[in-house]
A = this chain, B = another copy of it.
Amino acid sequence: MHSSKTREFYEKYIACLNSRKLENLGLYVNEVLTYNKKSISLKDYQALLEQNIKDIPDLYFQVDLLVADDDTIASRLNFNCTPEGEFMGILVNGRKVTFSEHVFYKLVNNKISEVWSLIDKEAIRDQIK
């Protein structure tokens, strides 16, 4: 895809997550993908996202920075949300937290095939001290 198409693809993927239409995830993600170097299935990925939404009912993916070329996407996502209990091993317990994720995606056949994600857990920990 041309880089402008890749951006458009990513914006649709994020809109899919934000509208909770996870049944459409297969439009954007391959049947098998690598997530932080671990091989998972589309179903696993969907289950992971469903769990995130269950843990954080007001989860909203806000794209702060987006860079794309033909087959690679880098995104800085901002979150301003209220995890109900534990999130990533941190007991947030219904407090509002703000944090970022820096995430890279590699596309194969115009769908997400690899994800490398780093979440600023330190920021979360600092806010609930």
> Which chain A residues have a beta carbon within 8 Å of chain B's beta carbons?
3, 65, 67-69, 72-74, 76, 100, 102-104, 106, 116, 118-122
A104-B76 in contact (CB<8A): yes
Residues in B with CB closer than 8 Å to A120 are 118
Residues in B with CB closer than 8 Å to A68 are 67, 69
B104-A65 in contact (CB<8A): yes
Closest to A117 in B: B102
> Is the contact region of chain A dominated by helix, strand, or loop, or is it mixed?
strand
Closest to A7 in B: B69
Residues in B with CB closer than 8 Å to A74 are 65, 67, 74, 102, 104
Residues in B with CB closer than 8 Å to A106 are 65
Q: Which 9 A-B pairs have the closest CB atoms?
A: A74-B74, A102-B102, A67-B67, A67-B74, A118-B118, A102-B118, A67-B72, A65-B104, A67-B69
B116-A102 in contact (CB<8A): yes
Complex CA gap A100/B67 in Å reads 19
Residues in B with CB closer than 8 Å to A3 are 3, 69
Residues in B with CB closer than 8 Å to A121 are 122
Max chain B CB contacts within 10 Å: which of A65, A68, A69, A118? A118
Complex CA gap A2/B116 in Å reads 26
